Structure 1
């Protein structure tokens, strides 16, 4: 089995547990996710299977989108609903205009200190495991990018005001830390009370599958949940390889212009391309190269050898 799966992770289980469940179901070893989603959060979790794991690096770096709820006036140890409450400030009064103003302050490049409950490694051990042992270590602030925070609903009359918003951000962004920082800037504190990932790169929540749906379809030999590997590669232009050059590409040999159907113009030479056989089968990803004498070619960097099928 080779391809990608858009899994709808339920709250209450880890991303690793999703991988283990599918590994047992499919009886495969090569399988993994493309970015941890907190156990308490639900939403899109792209899974790579078989040769699909070879394109995971192109998915990890893509922007992520979330629908998040912040509750103001309460701070927790983990910045989310799963942590011990540290402080309560009932009766907080916030004006919508002020909240919108502060949200705009977090658009663009910001620095975040990873929470102790994150899955980052520190000297070979996950931070959340150290946190369970009651340990706290220094963490270096990291740069992340917030592309958009769109306010959906604000309930300012509640004893603890709530804000529902859509957030689009770069990889490595901790939404719970973002919520805590927004609450701190507003002077009342806040925690992440609800989170669902609505998109991860090209993967959308509206076309995701639960583990139960995947299991049911797989047992009926219905592989409609399995996306092709090139679903993650649409940003790279596609070139068709002439039939006689297909074996050379599959063997990792350079692809000269004579082996490309239709030709490539002098000013139209993408740095990375998808290489396909005439029948539409994905062969490889190729990188642009140019020799000292000016002759250019594409060097296959990732050869997929899918034998004209994904399953």
Structure 2
């Protein structure tokens, strides 16, 4: 029998780290989590994964949905297998093969040299089979109609890239990249650079921001946790995304003022903070208030992103886990 969730106990704020399985869309995972938990409102995902891809997919609950814009801007770490010698119309294994070449003459040195050319900032053309809009329609909708339209290249960044393994015709790559990077496009571009073609045959997201693959749970395990009534224990607090920021504690008066959209005077804990530096802000009883930004010219905290949370955070100053 399904447990009836009392209204006063139904609020959940935080992140569930799901290990998305291959074949599911990101929205498939959100819908499954909603059905299992009975949570219908304020549930979303933080960073789309293609159906082919596996790995870290943060599911945001409640007040954590207000941090989704920060989450999707976090660096992402991928492990990708590229099958050399075959180009597809989707740039991955789900598409139709449009060209085949012999990759046997490609050397390890050539691959390593070409990979390094992608490190840093560069312009990337997004694939036709993507959710980007053009003329009010998703590109994949146009592609399904057999249409090919010109796509404006976007500037993307790869922080680190290296070859992990080579077992011809498959090369395994690790990359840490910024927002907007299409790993499928990288596979296609690498194949083009090597003059043999290539597409993504496997893709795993190992990390997004501070959230690691090792700390995820698959949907089958999550379903068991729901049936045993312990799924809330798996939810990470909203401020777990922000542990790279320093923290500060506000007085009762300062908390009230900043929640009302007012700036509050800088206390001793911000004396070493730089101009416009962001901090995690906490109440004196350890609740995460949100993100404050320091205006050094006025020696005041300005509200940047304020949340409404009822429970103390384990990451609050002097309450256990401190950044």
The DSSP-based 3-state class of the residue aligned with 2:233 is coil
Structure 2 match to 1:11: 22
Structure 1 match to 2:316: none
Structure 1 match to 2:3: none
Task: Work out whether residues 58 and 233 of structure 1, in 8 Å CA contact, stay in contact via their aligned partners in 2.
Answer: no
> Cα distance, 1:18 vs. partner?
1.3
Q: 1:23 aligns with which of 20, 34, 44?
A: 34
1:238 counterpart = 2:247: yes
CA distance in structure 2 between the aligned counterparts of 1:301 and 1:51, rounded to whole angstroms: 15
Structure 2 match to 1:170: 178
CA distance in structure 2 between the aligned counterparts of 1:268 and 1:62, rounded to whole angstroms: 21
Q: 1:300 aligns with which of 299, 303, 318?
A: 303
The DSSP-based 3-state class of the residue aligned with 1:87 is strand
Query: Residues 95 and 284 (structure 1 numbering): CA distance in 2 closer, same or farther, change over 3 Å?
Result: closer
Query: How many residues are matched?
Result: 300
The DSSP-based 3-state class of the residue aligned with 2:270 is coil
Task: Work out whether residues 46 and 59 of structure 2, in 8 Å CA contact, stay in contact via their aligned partners in 1.
Answer: yes
CA distance in structure 1 between the aligned counterparts of 2:152 and 2:172, rounded to whole angstroms: 29
The DSSP-based 3-state class of the residue aligned with 1:23 is helix
Alignment of 1:40-79 (within 5 A): 40-79=52-91
CA distance in structure 2 between the aligned counterparts of 1:267 and 1:151, rounded to whole angstroms: 39
Task: Work out whether residues 252 and 301 of structure 1, in 8 Å CA contact, stay in contact via their aligned partners in 2.
Answer: no
Task: Work out whether residues 176 and 191 of structure 1, in 8 Å CA contact, stay in contact via their aligned partners in 2.
Answer: yes
Q: 2:188 aligns with which of 180, 188, 196?
A: 180
Structure 1 match to 2:281: 275
> Cα distance, 1:187 vs. partner?
1.0
- Two-structure CA RMSD over aligned residues (Å): 2.0
CA distance in structure 1 between the aligned counterparts of 2:251 and 2:86, rounded to whole angstroms: 63
TM-score for both structures, normalised by structure 1 = 0.90
Alignment of 1:1-311 (within 5 A): 1-26=12-37, 27-90=39-102, 92-156=104-168, 161-222=169-230, 223-257=232-266, 260=267, 262-265=268-271, 271-289=277-295, 295-308=298-311
Of residues 79-88 and 271-280 in structure 1, the stretch that sits farther from structure 2 once superposed is 271-280
CA distance in structure 1 between the aligned counterparts of 2:14 and 2:145, rounded to whole angstroms: 39
Query: What are the superposed Cα offsets for residues 264-294 of structure 1, whole Å, 9 maximum, x if unpaired?
Result: 326656532211012221012222236xxx6
CA distance in structure 2 between the aligned counterparts of 1:190 and 1:15, rounded to whole angstroms: 25
The DSSP-based 3-state class of the residue aligned with 1:227 is coil
> Cα distance, 1:309 vs. partner?
5.2
Task: Work out whether residues 249 and 283 of structure 1, in 8 Å CA contact, stay in contact via their aligned partners in 2.
Answer: no
> Cα distance, 1:233 vs. partner?
1.5
Of residues 3-12 and 18-27 in structure 1, the stretch that sits farther from structure 2 once superposed is 18-27
Query: Residues 79 and 277 (structure 1 numbering): CA distance in 2 closer, same or farther, change over 3 Å?
Result: same
Task: Work out whether residues 92 and 188 of structure 1, in 8 Å CA contact, stay in contact via their aligned partners in 2.
Answer: no
CA distance in structure 2 between the aligned counterparts of 1:268 and 1:189, rounded to whole angstroms: 48
> Cα distance, 1:263 vs. partner?
4.2
> Cα distance, 1:29 vs. partner?
1.0
CA distance in structure 1 between the aligned counterparts of 2:72 and 2:179, rounded to whole angstroms: 7
Query: What are the superposed Cα offsets for residues 41-74 of structure 1, whole Å, 9 maximum, x if unpaired?
Result: 1111112110001111111111111111111111
